Amino acid sequence: MLPAPAVKADLPPDPADPVVLARALIRAPSVTPDAEPAMALVADVLAAAGYAVERLDFADHGPRVANLYARIGEGAPNLCFAGHVDVVPPGDAAEWRHGPFAGDVAEGLLYGRGAVDMKGAVAASIAAALRYGRPQAGSLSFLITGDEEGPALDGTVRVVEALRARGERVDACILGEPTNPSAMGDAFKIGRRGSLSGILTVEGKQGHVAYPHLADNPIPRLVRLIAALTAAPLDEGSDFFPPSNLEVVSVDVGNPVFNVIPARAEARFNVRFNDHFTLASLQAEIRRRLGATGLAHHLAFRPGASESFRTEPGPFVDMVRAAVEAVTGRVPEASTSGGTSDARFIKDLCPVIEFGLVGRTMHQVDEASPVADIVALTQVYERIIRSYFAR
């Protein structure tokens, strides 16, 4: 763990206004992994509101990653809001209608990198908490990282480890990732499929294409191995998850010419898998399919794999569904679709549910969120907080 940099942020005039705060966050550029400007702003806003703010920065796997855990109140229950302030690169800024870090509002939309993913939701959660104030019994907390869009090795996973190591109790968590496909209230996420990546390599012998008997082409064997991996579905899905799927994402031999048989062929793949598998059983199934071919190969699984998980139905799920319906008028789908998120780490700390903005423009040029959606999300979070502590 590293000491926090001595960075002081300019506080927005009214941080309890989610749009004002979201604009300030967008104007604090924080392209992963350098999230310090936005993290310093979050820290100062929460400290000014009476939160005990703790920086949990790490740099064990690369550049320094800014992380924050902040808490107000005493004892249990502890309701936590989680999120990230790092963003993906904006691309060519000249292609944006409004500057990617200008935080402009035009025709009812807030433009800027992170407006959707996910500075808008971070602002909404902070604004909701500031409006609620200090719990009379229990605690409100925030877990904010600067390493969600990056490797995710020194971010939320490390903060969760640190909190667990010291016995910090968190009872429930709302993560503000974009969950709605088309409109606010479409869906909230109660789980995610697991993710496993691997590299499959076949060795051969380089040689001239006119003399194949003097060489050994690895490509046909690699094609047969890929076919063995993809010929049959892994499963048909389960009660709560869509089917597992294995996707080959790259096939490469590093050969720029037409008259040389390559010495090596490599395929990279990713599997998004449901609760029919654990990491161990999925790895065993992949090895079984490859082994059945009888072809020599090398298989290496990449670090950073995650298991599937699901928050069980119950009062927490019902409370979030009721808050979303009350504000948006829609009954949200309890979804487990999509990619991975930091919920895969938080689930080791407490039950976690994801609900955020509409994700249609995330990572795009002209990323933007309707101002009305940010206001509505704040109202949903306010209802969740009030319902949670009313229990």
Give the Cβ contact number of residue 290 at 10 Å.
Answer: 19
**Please, which residues bridge with residue 55 across strands?**
68
Per annotation, catalytic residue among 36, 57, 86, 186: 86
Active site residue 148: yes
Angle at 66 between CA 65 and CA 70, to 5 degrees: 145
**Please, which residues bridge with residue 31 across strands?**
87
DSSP run (H or E) holding 230: helix 219-230
Helix, strand, or coil (residue 17): coil
- Which DSSP string corresponds to 76-110? S-EEEEEEE--B-----GGG-SS-TTT--EETTEE
Provide the greatest CA pair distance for the chain: 82
* Rounded Cα distance, 142 and 132, in Å: 14
The identity of residue 247, as a single letter, is E
Active site residue 86: yes
Nearest to 217 by CA among 207, 232, 228, 229: 207
Is residue 111 within 8 Å of residue 96, measured between CB atoms? Answer: yes
Sign of the CA dihedral 236, 238, 243, 245? negative
Is residue 350 within 8 Å of residue 159, measured between CB atoms? Answer: no
Is residue 274 within 8 Å of residue 238, measured between CB atoms? Answer: yes
Is residue 127 within 8 Å of residue 17, measured between CB atoms? Answer: yes
* Rounded Cα distance, 174 and 172, in Å: 7
Is residue 16 within 8 Å of residue 131, measured between CB atoms? Answer: yes
State how far the alpha carbon of 116 is from the alpha carbons of 120, 121, 178, 259, in Å.
6, 7, 7, 49
Per annotation, catalytic residue among 36, 104, 148, 149: 148
Angle at 341 between CA 335 and CA 347, to 5 degrees: 80
Is residue 223 within 8 Å of residue 229, measured between CB atoms? Answer: no
Is residue 129 within 8 Å of residue 383, measured between CB atoms? Answer: no
Indicate which residues carry an active-site annotation.
86, 148
